[in-house]
Chain A
Amino acid sequence: MVFALFEKLTNPKFLIEHNLLVIILRRIHIFMTQLGELILLIGKTLKWMTRRPFDLNLIVRQMEEVGYNSLPVVLITSIFTGMVFALNSFEGFHRFGAESLTGTVVGLAITRELAPVLTSLMVAGRAASAMAAEIGTMKVTEQVDALYTLATDPVKYLVVPRVTAGFFMVPILTAVADFFGIIGGYMVSVKLLGANPYIYIHSTKSFLENKDIIGGLIKASAFGFILAVVGCYKGLATEGGAEGVGKATTGAVVISSMCVLIADFFLTKMLM
């Protein structure tokens, strides 16, 4: 069945008859165009980051928006992730009497992987969507055009502060998530499952290296940069009124989350 379908779909005659080839090529074309535009935007952002004026007040406001306002979400996410991860690992290690490794595994998983990725996904949901909605609204109400006419590049005024905030705040949030994730794991292991607190702390400390924590924070910086750029890109590419703003917002969350997960693999490999 599946094989027959596959054969059909790869048969050039079938493709041409049903215009599928055109549709596929168009999709690829759109994807490549957008990828190109995104890369151009990254280039422009980096260029404008180094140029005066440095809009410090804008950067601070975005840092508050991206960082401070995301704290509650990140706190809750990280504590519960640490807790559930401890539950699962304890159960697993219990099968071969290695419960003492729970602290190690929780520490490694949180700092290397869970804290950076989950924090970034949360910020993608909160902040990247807000960026797309805000900039998208400005686009469809001609405020972006107005910036140009006031001799101000929207990349400088809108994108740079958001990307800067993402780059610096996501690792800070991740550090917070590291801490509370480990606390969550500790509480479940020691208070709920009755692990020896001394051994737990020892097993966390002795196997966790600076490299794990710093590697996680570096990844978080990259994720923060990526999700902010994608949010801004989606905003600037908005067309077609309120409906367009809605689409841009959803698109920003989906695409920035995917980009974070894809980048995660490559960055982890690079940092090994």
Chain B
Amino acid sequence: MMANETYIQVVDLYKSFGFKKVLQGLNLDIQRGETMVVIGGSGSGKSVLLKHIIGLLTPDSGGVFVDNQEVGRLNEKKLDLLRRRFGMLFQGAALFDSLNVEDNIAFALNRHSLLSPGEIKIRVTQCLEMVGMPGIEKLRTSELSGGMKKRVGLARAIALQPEIILYDEPTTGLDPIMSDVINNLIREMQEKLKVTSIAITHDMVSAYKIADRIAMLYEGRIEEVGTPEEIKNTSLPIVRQFIRGESSSTHQGVIQ
């Protein structure tokens, strides 16, 4: 098993947009080397949480600590250095339209590494092989299907050999088979690269498959954290409803 060492710590995080309170005192610890899956309904603030962890959003109060550095308080240079230890796979993959597959994957290498063009080419080939898409270097991003985009996005995320990979809804919008491919890839990344991963999703099949621990986000806080087994057998009604996909009267009440 992994060493029990807190690597990423979210402490009392608050974030509102205008009058809309999204995160309201969220606490979450992530151990080095584990895969934490955060589940929660659409619009519950999962992406907002992820964006705080990599410093794309700054908290109203509270903070995120990565390896004992407070993300929101780093200067530009230190934040850049910290970000190089992250890889992020966006929900829509967020590949650069203006670049082909190769240049997308090589983006950070071209800008931040001392590798020669030849070495970068080799690294791109490796990354594409790792996500099971060898030989598509010269394709344009518009020629890729949704699943291929995600895999290229993952290849881009791992190009700089990150210590932490963030996944924003890695299986949303994919068919079940492609979802399974992606789930397997996420497991593989964890085993081969020994990375710490945080994935957010509302796909429970995916959550059970990839998670070491699952945390449920509800009304701006973490409702429950536990192993997949513990979450499956939860006694909390809100968590139970969510993982079983039930819409109860209380839920409808919240929506209205």
Binding site for B on A (CB under 8 A): 53, 137-138, 141-143, 145-146, 148-153
CB nearest to B88 among chain A residues: A149
CB distance from A251 to the nearest CB of B (A): 21
A-B pairs, 8 with minimum CB distance: A146-B94, A142-B94, A149-B88, A150-B108, A151-B80, A151-B83, A142-B90, A143-B94
- Whether B97 is near chain A, meaning CB under 8 Å from some CB there, is yes
> Could you list 16 further interchain pairs (A-B, Cβ under 8 angstroms) beyond the known A146-B90, A149-B86, A152-B111?
A141-B92, A141-B94, A142-B94, A143-B94, A143-B96, A143-B97, A145-B90, A146-B94, A148-B83, A149-B56, A149-B88, A150-B108, A150-B156, A151-B81, A151-B111, A152-B108
Q: How far is B56's CA from A48's CA once the two chains are assembled, in angstroms?
A: 19
**22 A–B contacts, CB within 8 A, in A order:** A138-B97, A141-B94, A142-B90, A142-B91, A145-B51, A145-B90, A146-B88, A146-B90, A146-B94, A146-B95, A148-B54, A148-B56, A148-B83, A149-B83, A150-B108, A150-B156, A151-B81, A151-B108, A151-B111, A151-B112, A152-B108, A153-B76
Given the interface pairs A150-B107, A151-B108, A152-B111, the reply to whether A145 lies near B94 with Cβ below 8 Å is yes
- Whether B84 is near chain A, meaning CB under 8 Å from some CB there, is yes
CB nearest to A142 among chain B residues: B94
CB distance from B55 to the nearest CB of A (A): 8
CB distance from B251 to the nearest CB of A (A): 27
Q: How far is B71's CA from A33's CA once the two chains are assembled, in angstroms?
A: 26
Q: How far is B97's CA from A142's CA once the two chains are assembled, in angstroms?
A: 12
Dominant secondary structure of chain B at its interface with chain A:
mixed
Q: How far is B95's CA from A141's CA once the two chains are assembled, in angstroms?
A: 9
Contacts of B88 in A (CB 8 A): 146, 149
Contacts of A148 in B (CB 8 A): 54-56, 83
Contacts of A53 in B (CB 8 A): 111
Q: How far is B95's CA from A142's CA once the two chains are assembled, in angstroms?
A: 9
Residues in B94-145 with C-beta less than 8 Å from chain A: 94-97, 107-108, 111-112
Q: How many residues of B are counted as interface, with CB atoms below 8 angstroms from the partner's CB atoms?
A: 24
Contacts of B107 in A (CB 8 A): 150, 152
B54 in contact with A149 (CB, 8 Å): yes
CB nearest to A61 among chain B residues: B98
A150 in contact with B56 (CB, 8 Å): no
Contacts of A141 in B (CB 8 A): 92, 94
Q: How far is B88's CA from A145's CA once the two chains are assembled, in angstroms?
A: 10
Q: How far is B126's CA from A176's CA once the two chains are assembled, in angstroms?
A: 50
Contacts of B56 in A (CB 8 A): 145, 148-149
Q: How far is B79's CA from A152's CA once the two chains are assembled, in angstroms?
A: 11
Q: How far is B90's CA from A149's CA once the two chains are assembled, in angstroms?
A: 10
B111 in contact with A142 (CB, 8 Å): no
B94 in contact with A151 (CB, 8 Å): no
Mark contacts of B62-77 with chain A using CB atoms, 8 A cut-off: 1 yes-contact digit, 0 otherwise: 0000000000000010
CB nearest to B54 among chain A residues: A149
CB distance from A141 to the nearest CB of B (A): 6
Q: How far is B98's CA from A138's CA once the two chains are assembled, in angstroms?
A: 10
Contacts of A143 in B (CB 8 A): 94-97
Residues in B34-89 with C-beta less than 8 Å from chain A: 51, 54-56, 76, 80-81, 83-84, 86-88
Q: How far is B149's CA from A143's CA once the two chains are assembled, in angstroms?
A: 13
Q: How far is B76's CA from A153's CA once the two chains are assembled, in angstroms?
A: 10
B91 in contact with A151 (CB, 8 Å): no
Q: How far is B108's CA from A131's CA once the two chains are assembled, in angstroms?
A: 23
Q: How far is B87's CA from A40's CA once the two chains are assembled, in angstroms?
A: 29
Q: How far is B149's CA from A141's CA once the two chains are assembled, in angstroms?
A: 13
CB distance from A152 to the nearest CB of B (A): 6
Q: How far is B91's CA from A153's CA once the two chains are assembled, in angstroms?
A: 21
Contacts of A142 in B (CB 8 A): 90-92, 94
Q: How far is B54's CA from A145's CA once the two chains are assembled, in angstroms?
A: 10
CB distance from B232 to the nearest CB of A (A): 32
CB distance from A3 to the nearest CB of B (A): 39
CB distance from A237 to the nearest CB of B (A): 15
Q: Specify which of A141, A149, A153 lies most central, judged by the most chain B CB atoms within 10 Å of its CB.
A: A149
Contacts of B80 in A (CB 8 A): 151
